[in-house]
């Protein structure tokens, strides 16, 4: 899997991200991930379909869904997702206190989008709403 810069997209992460706990399989609160991305200057792409996140590259997905509006794609940048969610529901951030959204990290890569320089990105999978509901249910045993 290659990004447009020729840097492979995959499950090898730079040491600075690994020190933050951003590694394959890590599950990170969406708010913490947003803060890390801003602080350490990398983009986060949220995928709503696990197979797509694991079996394709961001470059392939951007090409395939290039004509599809951002909010109708099966993936979105985290900052755009949070902006849309808070505009749609002013209580969204408060709801995250009650029911946190935890993103599973699946891949790292670089894509040339910042002044011709490769910009690092992380791909993560969003939980399904039914999974959220199941995690909050008391154990039936």
Which pLDDT tens digit goes with each residue over 10-25?
888 999 999 999 999 9
Residues of the chain predicted below pLDDT 70: 1-8, 113-114, 129-141
Whether residue 3 lies inside any domain: the answer is no
DSSP SS3 for 9: coil
State pTM to two decimals. Answer: 0.83
Whether residue 43 lies inside any domain: the answer is yes
Per-residue pLDDT of 24-43, as tens digits, reads 999 999 999 999 999 999 99
Range of the domain at 55: 15-128
Instruction: State the CB neighbour count (10 A cutoff) for residue 106.
Output: 20
Whether residue 4 lies inside any domain: the answer is no
Whether residue 134 lies inside any domain: the answer is no
Whether residue 119 lies inside any domain: the answer is yes
Whether residue 136 lies inside any domain: the answer is no
Tokens describing residue 99: 């029911």
Whether residue 64 lies inside any domain: the answer is yes
pLDDT value of residue 117 = 79
User: In total, how many domains does the chain have?
Assistant: 1
């Amino acid at each position: 899997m290659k990004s447009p810069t020729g840097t492979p997209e995959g499950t090898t992460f730079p040491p600075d991200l690994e020190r933050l706990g951003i590694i394959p399989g890590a599950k990170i609160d969406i708010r913490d991930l947003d803060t890390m991305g801003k602080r350490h200057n990398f983009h986060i792409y949220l995928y709503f379909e696990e197979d797509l996140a694991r079996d394709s590259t961001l470059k392939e997905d951007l090409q395939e869904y290039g004509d599809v509006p951002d909010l109708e794609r099966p993936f979105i940048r985290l900052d755009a997702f949070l902006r849309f969610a808070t505009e749609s529901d002013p209580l969204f951030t408060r709801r995250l206190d009650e029911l946190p959204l935890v993103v599973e990290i699946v891949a790292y890569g670089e894509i040339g989008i910042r002044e011709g320089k490769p910009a690092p990105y992380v791909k993560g999978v969003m939980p399904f709403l039914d999974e959220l509901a199941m995690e909050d249910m008391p154990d039936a045993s």
